[in-house]
Amino acid sequence: MMHAEKELTISEHFRNIMSRPGPRTQKLNWQSLGIEPLDLAGLDDPFSEAEICKAIGEMPADKPLGLDGFTRRFFRAWWDIIKEDIVAAFKSPYDIRHIHSNLLNSANIVLIPKKEGADRVGDYRPISLIHGFPKIFSKVLFLILRPIMHSLISTNQSAFIHGRSIHDNFMYVRNTLRRYHKNKSPVLLFKLNISKGFDSMRWDYLLVLMQHWGFPQQWHDWITSLLTTSSSKILLTTSSSLRS
């Protein structure tokens, strides 16, 4: 396959996954879905140096480098020198929107083959190499949310939540099947696999849900900025790239 054909194939693949759908035509009734507003007072308190330092400390030490070439190990090793600049970036003027320009919130994507003889785009795992600052900022937001994550995320979602295990759902299904089998009750089961769940999530849905939950406007602005100012380039070779 020629280089131009590779560019076209990869571009079409990722645009099909991440392309923005048409405008929403319906609204959700959150109350009927059992999703009630939450008490989220204090979420927009000013960031502290301790929160930022903790976020850096919990990041993997030597993840693949982003465009700036800085790893967690760098931030930890030189924290006493750079902390004033990092903290100032979070606090000045407590509006992070101007920080996340396309230059700072950009990434390179490398494609790593999942198996030998990979010949389709789906056979490659995309690894996003982003700047250090958006990583730290996102981690700080996560740590602020972590104590209330169980209130935000349904118990049906057992993976990726601290204190939960994906095996819980397997156990639940197994015990349910045993009960129906023992009672000889007819039952119809569906197994749904939502591929690329986050990549295909509508941003406007996420923002409306945050508003219903009662997130402060500042959080709405932060998440909007993280999403809308991001850009990526897919690296095909060491000397060429494809903007996504």
- Selection from 207, 227, 216, 231 nearest residue 94 by Cα: 216
Q: How far apart are CA 58 and CA 140, in angstroms?
A: 10
Sequence length of the chain is: 244
Token couple for 104: 């700072």
Q: Are 232 and 108 in contact (CB under 8 A)?
A: yes
Average pLDDT over residues 121-132: 87
Q: In this prediction, what percent of the chain has a pLDDT beyond 90?
A: 18
User: What was the pLDDT predicted at 99?
Assistant: 52
Res. 85: pLDDT tops 50: yes
- pLDDT at residue 182, as a whole number: 92
Q: Which residues pair with 109 in a beta bridge?
A: 128, 234
CA 228 to chain centre: 13
Does 48 have pLDDT greater than 70? yes
Residue 93 clears pLDDT 50, i.e. is over it: no
What pLDDT, on the 0 to 100 scale, is given for residue 94?
58
In this prediction, residue 27 has a pLDDT band, given cuts at 50, 70 and 90, of confident
Cα distance between residue 13 and residue 228, in whole Å: 21
The answer, as to whether pTM is greater than 0.85, is no
Higher local confidence (pLDDT), 77 or 4: 77
Give the sheet arrangement for strand 106-113, strand by strand. 124-130, 106-113, 231-237, 240-243
What is the predicted pLDDT for the residue at 224? 87
Q: Which residues, other chains included, contact 20 with Cβ-Cβ below 8 Å and sequence gap of 6+?
A: none
- pLDDT higher than 90, residue 36: no
Q: Which of the pair, 200 or 182, is modelled with greater confidence?
A: 182
pLDDT at res. 175? 92
Kindly state the percentage of the chain with pLDDT values over 70: 89
